[in-house]
Amino acid sequence: MTLPAARLSPQAFAQARAFLLERGRPLEAARFRQEFDSGEAEAVLAALRAYRNEDGGFGQALEPDVRAPESSVLATLTALRVLHELNVPASEPLLQGAVEWLRLHLHPQEGGVVWPFLPPEAETSPHAPWWNQQEPEQLAQAFGGFQVNPRAELVARLWRWPELLPEGLLSQLTVEVRDAVLAGLDAGDVNGHHTAAVFAQQPEVPEEYREPALEYLRDVLPDRVARLPEEFAGYGLSALAVAPTPASPLAHALEEPLAAALTHLLTSQAEDGAWGPTWSWSGQFPEAWPQAEAEWRSVLTLEALRTLRDWGRLEGL
């Protein structure tokens, strides 16, 4: 007999809801209302504007692990995810400014043009150690020359609005991303696999480019995603990061690790209703980490509720 799948109880959902609306960042609170409480998309855009700079890019600690006010690819990608989820039209000013900023910050290098994650100025603001850039090219070396991460996800999301980029540029970037993914990802590159999965599963990306990447990921991911409790306790690759919904093309290849990841998600909610990060950089910037941790709890709680909803794991919803 097949037992029914475990679900988040109404009481636990209410705790998470209260956490987001009472203690979460305005952005996550607005996104929660828009997705779960019939809130307005305009409220999400209004909250997102707080992170936009005059140059059209985004900064202001939108991604909590980098507290820099300056515009960065990291923060602008974070904003682009929100705009993509809202399916804003190409005429949306926040989108137009972000895309133009991204176009102006492409960096030619061997293997094509890429987006470096952070400007050098970000080094002077509190940040996680994996964003250190005291040495020349330190970030490029840490992130594989930016060939896959963040380029793959940026390209995938920009296919929603190809008219906003010069003719031919998006196709060029797409070919370069496909080739970079097929060149192989390091087994421990958690975020590289995630961003490659976004590229491979985004329906707007032309099939001829995403399908080879999808086949590569189907082959390697079963041996690279977390399955054991101790793996979930660290910063490992969750199957839910690469197959966030049952409709994800990669979901069928990851049935067992997805079940384990959903079980872990259901059992890792804190007593205050939130989900928190499994990482910390309090040793590097102890004065800044508590605020970053609080913001991550907001981000991760919203992500957890969305994931559980999409997998039918919210009781009564």
- Place 227 in a pLDDT band, splitting at 50, 70 and 90: very high
- Place 110 in a pLDDT band, splitting at 50, 70 and 90: confident
Looking at residue 45, its pLDDT comes to 98
Query: What's the one-letter identity of residue 259?
Result: A
Q: Nearest CA to 106 among 51, 200, 176?
A: 176
CA 175, 179, 182, 184 torsion-angle sign = negative
- Mean pLDDT computed over 163-179: 97
CB 125 within 8 A of CB 66: yes
- Mean pLDDT computed over 65-83: 98
Residues 6+ apart with CB under 8 A from 267: none
The DSSP-derived string for 244-261 is -STTSTTGGGGHHHHHHH
CB 157 within 8 A of CB 202: yes
CB 220 within 8 A of CB 185: yes
Burial class (CB in 10 A: 0-12, 13-18, 19+), 25: buried
Residue 248 CA: distances (Å) to CA of 18, 263, 281, 293, 303: 30, 19, 32, 29, 16
Token code pair at residue 67: 């507290």
Answer whether 0.95 is exceeded by the pTM.
Answer: yes
Higher-confidence residue of 272 and 1: namely 272
- Place 2 in a pLDDT band, splitting at 50, 70 and 90: very low
Looking at residue 1, its pLDDT comes to 32
